[in-house]
Structure 1
Amino acid sequence: MIKTLVVEDSGLMRILITDILKSDKSISEVQTANNGFEAMQKVRSYQPDVIVTDMVMPEYDGLYLVKEVMKDSPKPIIVLSSLDRTNAQIFDALKYGAFEFVDKPKNGEGFKTNGYYPLVDLVKEAAKINVQSLITKSIRRNNLAHTFQEKLNYDIVVIGSSTGGPGAIECLLEGFPANFPVPIVIAQHMPERFIESFAVRINGYTPLNVSIPRKGQPLEPGHIYIAPGTKNIMINRSPISNTPLFSFTSRHYKEFNNPSVDCLFESVSETYKERALCVVLTGMGKDGTQGLSKIKANKGYAIVQDEKSSVVFGMPKAALDAGLVDNVVPIKEMAGFITSCLC
């Protein structure tokens, strides 16, 4: 049974979140706190399995709480945010060890998606993780050049990730050399309003250029593209020049949408065939497995993050269980491994 601590300065929101969590029988007990300072006292006395905290609170906010908890008594923390001005703080919270973040709606119905509460699933998933996987140690970004062969083995690297993905992506990208020779396209499950802040943030972790692609934009070597959160991203060849171009679709995919990893992988399988190198990083669910089956059918290459370094092993495990994976690699070795695959 899961013991949960809800940290929120709004009394109404505390009641709403508590009621939502208690609607699931596996969440046995919920206690509350008004701010980060009070929460730290509860963490020491109550020893919750999972913490759900607002980001914006007077005096002792969510970022304070994340730093203190991960330093004093590491626990999985889910951060709630409703303001654009907190976007940078959200990624700082993830850097310091927060498990995941979600948009905080104005009322209880806003927590509901397709008739159920995703927050409940997040709490249950958080209770199962190895907290040590959240405590990341940064490495220096790689400003050095690498010697690549003139003829590369692959023409594109595509990456799919969900829960735990921002930290894994930062760790991966800062290991790529400054002269990385092919485009990198990333589909990270994330609310739309956080995507731009995420792109700006990871631009500081790599010597490569980072941007959000536009419809009809061609792909450039050594450029990192972050899928927007408005529609599902695709890469198709121009009927005139045969050049790969970005496009978008409103087609709905079963596992996740806007962006869908399956959608990206499926389009890449047709556009690049055996010249595609695909990576599935940490994340809940099975997004990417369907697309990876198309990648493998066209002789592309598939890598997944290992269980030990994954915050949530769901997406990599689904691909492994389906027999679609060529190699399983720890996140700290991933950049070097991908670089060697291109040579």
Structure 2
Amino acid sequence: MDLSIAGILMLDGITNGAIYALLALATVLVFAVTRVIFIPQGEFVAFGALTMATLQLGKTPLTVHFLLAMTAAVLLLDGWAAWRAGQGLRKPLLAAALPALIGLLALWLAPQQLPLIGQALLTLAIVTPMGGLIYRLAYQSLADATVLVLLIVSVGVHFALTGLGLAFFGAEGSRNPSFWEASFNAGPLMLSGQSLIIVGASIALIVLLWLFFERSLYGKALRATAVNRLGARLMGISSTGAGQLAFTMAAFIGALSGLLISPTTTIFYDSGFLIGLKGFVGAVFAGLASYPGAALGAVLVGLLESFSSFWASAFKEVIVFTSILPVLLWRSLRDPHQEEH
């Protein structure tokens, strides 16, 4: 291996690591706020990429109907709960209004052959509300359950979303057009415009997340819920609202990651699981607690994957996922496990 090959591998690793960093941040966010190890995070990647591919064909993606179906289910559950509590239906109707409006608008806009940026924005609008709806349907009633129970639920949600992905998009993969076709030469390296967009968008989103948590009231509420759920609840912060917001943000990050990575690789209905799992490995490097540590760990995962593909391409996945073992051993020795009650 010479320096030019090492540079190419490093560039590829940083590009992939930027995507893994976004998913690692989403994983840490969801776990910190809700204690849910969100295995289906990668499904939002596949839903985002394949929804965009369907819009490219001028068709209405079935994810729109899925969004409307989940909205109706949530409205039914919240309406029933409000009726039993003797409350009006105003609050459930207001909560369902935005995703329902997005779904109906998407039904009209999908066949219109929007420009590429318009299709990307429509995709984000379709997939992002799914996060909060999934939290309401699958996790909200189990918010106080143990981490193990929540993990089992996450496994079930993952298989359900994977099966729905197969029904929605079929077994064939899709690759979306690049958002920027330019290429730049830097010595022996050739930088594509899409790679620059991936890294730039990842850095921008990380900065926006930092500003959100540091400067906004909602961000501080999420931080308070992550630090002490009971204390935040006593201070008037809704743990239910915090959970829905965390899942919504995770869905947005996953869908955006799918849009960014789909021009560089073919995405299948089940591709998101492996991509999300690598983001999870990066998050574990940080102990599912530190956002900067998760981002750094994810970039290291991308570099490890890139160089492993050169030295032992047949075993690159094994090398990446085996790297988590010494980290887990070290954390187990450093922080002895305490039984959860």
Q: Same fold (TM over 0.5)?
A: no
Higher strand share: 1
After TM superposition, the score normalised by the length of structure 2 is 0.25
After TM superposition, the score normalised by the length of structure 1 is 0.25
Q: Which structure has the higher relative contact order (CA within 8 Å, separation 6+)?
A: 2
Higher helix share: 2
